[in-house]
Homo-oligomer: A and B are copies of this chain.
């Protein structure tokens, strides 16, 4: 049952006057539930609760936090069909996607729980004392990672489950020991409330302090801005547009106490087609990419929006096949009329640029809010000179750039902004002949893909989802995979600290049996 209220810690609250509804893009109608935007007072209460909760939660053992995360997973599954239906009605996405994303959300929570149970992630490090060292004795120094404090998480429009309420950012922050205040995404506040209920139930069942989690509704940008400026917030996680992410980054940087904002933002995910591969496999590649460009109505941050090749018959054939194949694909629904509107505007703006040629355009609108996929092509020299063509068109849109030669292709990569991914399509042995292309591509991206598609982000320790700006605001961290926990922690060092007062991770007898760096040797041994 949806109440439309905010969770201020464990308490439902709706003191505000601003109400709004979510929208079902498939049927082009508002959903019936009303949501109440959080007030300044509610934001303050959530922050105060989070700050108080942090005093307790920061020292909760890994085992207990793991139980909490696993309980969240169980409670989300327990929401059953209600969650799937709400997800579909607020996103226009199909049921199998809802189920897949739920599975991923559960997997993420379990992955962090495993990480906590194992315990090595705190990077415990011990340098024992050398009292006889000259000229000065060396003290005993021990270090581990500790949580930063309350974290604000902004739900993503395109991942109502896996990158929203109890998604990757929240799971990572809770695992780190940080209370989380979610700024629920206005496009799927119902899905958000259901998941928030699951988190609150899990927190109560596993004895977590009130305030470890809050969920705030908002229609516009004001609640988010207030949260980022709030002195008690210590870090921010965001997934969305460059404009939105940069605005939050700017607010956070201007604070009296600046705080880290990890924003995962836009990307056009360049794909480089090397000549031999293009010649040998152009047709099958075109089919593969027609699917990748339209997957999820092109609404993935890893959507391939830029395909680079060398001018010639093979590339012409590729463009032709890609254009034919993409028009065979049935158009699908976008997340919201606003997303569809932005897609149409950005597509039109790109198409109007001098030198851009449209080679496929699914002209008719099969249904309101459904996207019409587009393939375009442009000369390398034109692309190099027109920065507008470097901007993301969020949706089923791609641009094939016809380069004069490899030197121009390299130059073009060097001029690109930072990207989440870069893909290299090559025949065996071919790639080794293009070290400068690989080097340039690596320097612009967080993840390199060989003979594949960028869509599809595996959740595992070796994943990097992030990259040089504007792919993300800090390329030193990933938003996906258990290492994303590192965004929300800092090291603290204990000098000559008495054993009984040390955290368990640093005690002499290693009660957690974790791997520690002891005098430069990685070991599980006791001291």
Contact = CB atoms under 8 A, between A and B. Distances in A.
B458 A139 contact: yes
Contacts of A501: 431-432, 438, 450
A462 B136 contact: no
A461 B516 CA distance: 12
Given A431-B498, A431-B501, A495-B448, A461 B517 contact: yes
B462 A493 contact: yes
Nearest to A96: B135
Which of A138, A139, A254 has the largest count of B CB atoms less than 10 A from its CB? Answer: A139
Contacts of A452: 139, 495-496
A500 interface: yes
Contact of A475 (B143, B470, B490, B498): B490
A: contact size bracket: 35 or more
Contacts of A191: none
Interface in A246-271: 249-250, 253-254, 257-260
B496 A458 contact: no
Interface in A132-170: 135-136, 138-139, 141-143, 146, 148-149
B478 A491 contact: yes
Interface in A494-513: 494-498, 500-501
Given A432-B500, A515-B522, A141 B492 contact: no
A181 interface: no
Interface string A438-465: 1100110111111110001010111110
Contacts of A257: 417-418, 468-470
A360 interface: no
B460 A127 contact: yes
5 contacts: A253-B254, A257-B468, A258-B473, A259-B469, A431-B498
